[in-house]
Amino acid sequence: MNKTINQKAWFFVVPVFVLVAFNAAIPLMTVVNYSFQETFGNNVFAWEGTRWFKQILLSERFHDALGRQIAFTFIILLIQIPLGIGIALTMPKKGWGVPVCLILMSMPLLIPWNVVGAMWNIFALPDIGFLGYSLNAIGFDFNFTQQPGDAWFTTILMDVWHWTSLVVLLSYAGLNSIQPAYYQAAEIDGASRWATFRYIELPKMKKVLTLAILLRFMDSFMIYTEPFVLTGGGPGNATAFLSIDLVKMALGQFDLGPAAAMSLIYFFIVLLVCWVFYSLMMKNEVKS
């Protein structure tokens, strides 16, 4: 669409600008403030320069949390994206199946995050939970509160349960926007199922898939409530991802300086990755 140049359009944006600035800029400045200073309570501050940043960047604790976070995000993207596409491809395209699938698949998305954690906790308990009991019954020694491997397995399974539907809905919407003519052409050319997917469906889904990856990256990188309720970051620190570690430091130990420095580094990493994605997305949009 060709847009008119109109500087007065700023007036339309003012309410949004004010609300978001009020919510984002002021708190963010507080964080920046803390990150360079030492606080002694009663509003007494001393300038610390970049000490907290150095401390965080060199600390093993941060490296471990970041490592766990990257591993977690990588694994869930690797599972959820292909699984989501696969389910979207096999979903009915018309008839009564469509609303049934859509409603049931959207359910996990609308359950409060701590309820998701609590639900999986109950579901995976080795003695009374369906998952834990069944796994033990068929011979696995499963106990997610004691063994780190099991805690990871449960956390990942929970996230797959919680968010795969988002990828499904996005892919399904992308698939629905393909005109039947494309499929007819493919059929006439005698294209295989794989070729149809590779050369027709996948390119058409590119935009929504970029979005799905972006959203899943952002949200999994910020994950807090679900693993906090499910495992509390344990056993030990096995599932203490970045947010869990950060909240522990800020509200638990009240180490405001290091916590603020960590917040900024954390935010910066998310921002950097999202900026790369956003630029890619916009480039695609201009092309098409």
Partner 1 sequence: MKKYKWLVPTLYIIFLMLPIYWLINMSFKTTTEIINTYSLWPREFTTENYVKIFTDSTWYMGYVNSITYTVFNTLISVAAALPAAYAFSRYKFLGDKHLFFWLLTNRMAPPAVFALPFFQFYSSVNLFDTHIAVALSHCLFNIPLAVWILEGFMSAVPKELDETAYVDGYSFNRFFFKIFIPTIAAGIGITMFFCFMFSWVELLLAKTLTATAAKPIAATMTRTASTSGYELGLLAAAGSLTIIPGAIVIYFVRNYIAKGFAMGRV
The residue within the footprint of partner 1, chosen from 55, 108, 156, 238 (CB under 8 A), is: 108
Q: Which own/partner pairs from 44-52 qualify as long-range (CB within 8 Å, at least 24 positions apart)?
A: 48/257, 51/257, 52/257, 52/258, 52/260, 52/261
- Choices 70-78, 128-136, 145-153, 179-187 (CB under 8 A): range interacting with partner 1: 128-136
Of 57, 71, 109, 276, the one binding partner 1 by CB under 8 A: 109
252 binds partner 1 (CB under 8 A): no
Residues 171-230 that bind partner 1 (CB under 8 A): 172-174, 176-177, 207-208, 211, 215, 218, 221-222, 224-225, 229
Measured from the CB of residue 284, what is the shortest distance to partner 1 in angstroms?
12
Calpha distance 189→171 (Å, rounded): 25
Instruction: Based on the shown chain and the rule CB under 8 A, indicate whether residue 5 belongs to the binding site for partner 1.
Output: yes
Stretch that binds partner 1, among 36-44, 48-56, 71-79, 273-281 (CB under 8 A): 273-281
Distance CA 146, CA 148 (A): 7
Residues 19-38 that bind partner 1 (CB under 8 A): 19-20, 22-24, 26-28, 30-31
Site for partner 1, residues 38 to 97, rule: CB under 8 A? 86-87, 90-92, 97
151 binds partner 1 (CB under 8 A): no
Size of the site for partner 1 (CB under 8 A): 96
Question: Half-sphere exposure (CA, 13 Å, Cβ side) for 7?
Answer: 0
Mapped onto helix, strand or coil, the DSSP state of residue 192 is coil
Distance of CA 141 to the CA centre of its chain: 30
Locate 26 and state its tokens.
């002021």
CB 218 within 8 A of CB 197: no
The smaller minimum CB distance to partner 1, of residues 105 and 152, is found at: 105
- Phi, psi at residue 45, to the nearest 5°? -125, 150
Please identify, among the stretches 40-48, 57-65, 73-81, 111-119, the one whose residues bind partner 1 according to the rule CB under 8 A: 111-119
Helix (H) or strand (E) holding 46: strand 45-47
Residue 236 CB, shortest distance to partner 1, in Å, is 20
Question: Which residue in this structure is represented by tokens 């007065």?
Answer: 8
Q: Could you say which of 102, 191, 200, 238 contacts partner 1 (CB under 8 A)?
A: 102
Tell me which long-range contacts 46-50 makes (C-beta under 8 A, separation of at least 24): 48/257
Q: Which of 113, 89, 56 is nearest to 227 (CA)?
A: 113
Quick one: which of 76, 209, 230, 242 contacts partner 1 (CB under 8 A)? 242
Among 64, 74, 78, 106, which residue sits at the site for partner 1 (rule: CB under 8 A)?
A: 106
Name the residue nearer to partner 1 (CB basis): 31 or 156: 31
The nearer residue to partner 1, 2 or 42, going by C-beta atoms, is 2
End-to-end CA distance of the chain: 13
